[in-house]
């Protein structure tokens, strides 16, 4: 990669890691949104694989609830895999401007939900059939945009997990989504050795950013940071949509 692009990628993952360190999510969302300004979404998704996988495995394993969460959410995780495979090729076969527009729409929707602080509750009886549906829809959106927060994040917030369980559940969901996306990109021959090596290098700024974010989390008002984050994400999503559809 050319030096200016390398610097842009490094700064993007530093910022994305910082966001994840402060609020516990947002690395793939921020990285995909910013990288898509400078490159095709499929290449951005390929660069995301290693930093996303490592940071999410780290988050998934940081706690003692993983086995119980996995038993509860296995059908959702299966749905993520099925949906991503079913949508395989959407990110790579669609024209670049349509993929960028879809990514912008996903970012804007996620940001709007965050700004509105919408919350709902899923009753236990509905969870059995809703979990695989949510997983499948998340997988399809992942395959089309490289972003795997909608509708997985709002759903996990709605099923009554406590704070520590929610953090681990998000880590599990994002890990499965990352692996499914990586398999889909590899099958479409969109994850060549050069991009894999660049993705590995992007891990360093992502981890540095995440550590810095965790340090800052104890010193910042999280609510204020979240509002600024979601407002910026909404503007970025709108920009990507406008630019792609011009």
pLDDT, one tens digit per residue, over 172-219 is 999 999 999 999 998 888 888 888 999 999 999 999 998 998 888 777
Q: Is the pLDDT of residue 24 over 80?
A: no
Q: Which sign, positive or negative, has the C-alpha torsion 66, 209, 220, 37? A: negative
Sequence-separated (6 or more) residues with CB below 8 Å from residue 46: 185, 190, 191, 192, 195, 196, 199
Q: Return the ∠ at Cα 213 (arms to 209 and 219), rounded to 5°.
A: 150
Rounded Cα gap, residues 74 and 189, in angstroms: 28
Burial 27-37 (b: 16+ CB within 10 A, else e): bbbbbbbbbbe
* R_g of the chain, CA atoms, integer Å: 17
Position 2 scores a pLDDT of 54
Q: How many CA within 13 A on the CB side of residue 162?
A: 6
Q: Which of 129, 159, 179 is nearest to 28 (CA)?
A: 179
**Taking 90 as the threshold, does the pLDDT of residue 169 lie above it?**
yes
The residue among 10 and 223 whose pLDDT is bigger is 10
From its phi and psi, is residue 160 left (phi > 0), alpha (psi between -120 and 50) or beta?
left
| Predicted confidence (pLDDT) per residue in 56-105, tens digit | 898 899 878 899 999 999 999 999 999 999 988 777 765 667 777 887 88
How high is the mean pLDDT of the chain?
Answer: 87
Q: What is the pLDDT of residue 87?
A: 87
Length of the chain: 246
Q: Which pTM value belongs to this model?
A: 0.84
Residues 6+ apart with CB under 8 A from 28: 16, 48, 52, 146, 147, 148, 149, 174, 178
Distance of CA 214 to the CA centre of its chain: 18
Helix (H, G, I), strand (E, B), or coil: what is residue 229?
Answer: helix
pLDDT on residue 11: 94
The residue-averaged pLDDT of 129-137 equals 96
Secondary structure percentages of the chain, helix, strand, coil, to 5:
80, 0, 20
pLDDT at residue 153 is higher than 60: yes
- State residue 21's pLDDT score: 82
30-62 per-position pLDDT tens digit: 898 889 888 888 899 999 999 999 988 988 998
Burial of 176 (0-12, 13-18, 19+ CB in 10 A): buried
Tell me, what's the pLDDT at 95?
63
pLDDT of residue 189: 86
């Amino acid at each position: 990669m050319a030096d200016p692009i390398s610097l842009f990628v490094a700064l993007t993952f530093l910022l994305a890691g910082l966001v994840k360190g402060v609020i516990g999510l947002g690395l793939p969302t921020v990285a995909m949104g910013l990288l898509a300004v400078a490159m095709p979404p499929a290449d951005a998704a390929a660069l995301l694989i290693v930093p996303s996988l490592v940071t999410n495995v780290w988050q998934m394993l940081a706690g003692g609830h993983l086995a119980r969460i996995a038993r509860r959410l296995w059908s959702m995780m299966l749905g993520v895999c099925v949906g991503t495979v079913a949508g395989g090729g959407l990110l790579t076969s669609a024209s670049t401007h349509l993929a960028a527009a879809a990514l912008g729409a996903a970012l804007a929707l996620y940001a709007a939900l965050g700004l509105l602080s919408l919350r709902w509750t899923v009753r236990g009886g509905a969870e059995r059939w809703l979990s695989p549906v949510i997983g499948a829809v998340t997988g399809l959106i992942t395959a089309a945009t490289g972003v795997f927060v909608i509708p997985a994040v709002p759903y996990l917030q709605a099923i009554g997990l406590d704070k520590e369980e929610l953090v681990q559940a998000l880590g599990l969901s994002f890990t499965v989504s990352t692996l499914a996306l990586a398999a889909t990109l590899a099958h479409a021959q969109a994850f060549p050795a050069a991009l894999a090596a660049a993705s590995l290098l992007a891990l360093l700024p992502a981890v540095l950013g995440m550590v810095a974010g965790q340090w800052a989390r104890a010193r910042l008002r999280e609510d204020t940071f979240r509002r600024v984050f979601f407002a910026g994400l909404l503007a970025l999503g709108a920009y990507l949509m406008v630019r792609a559809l011009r």
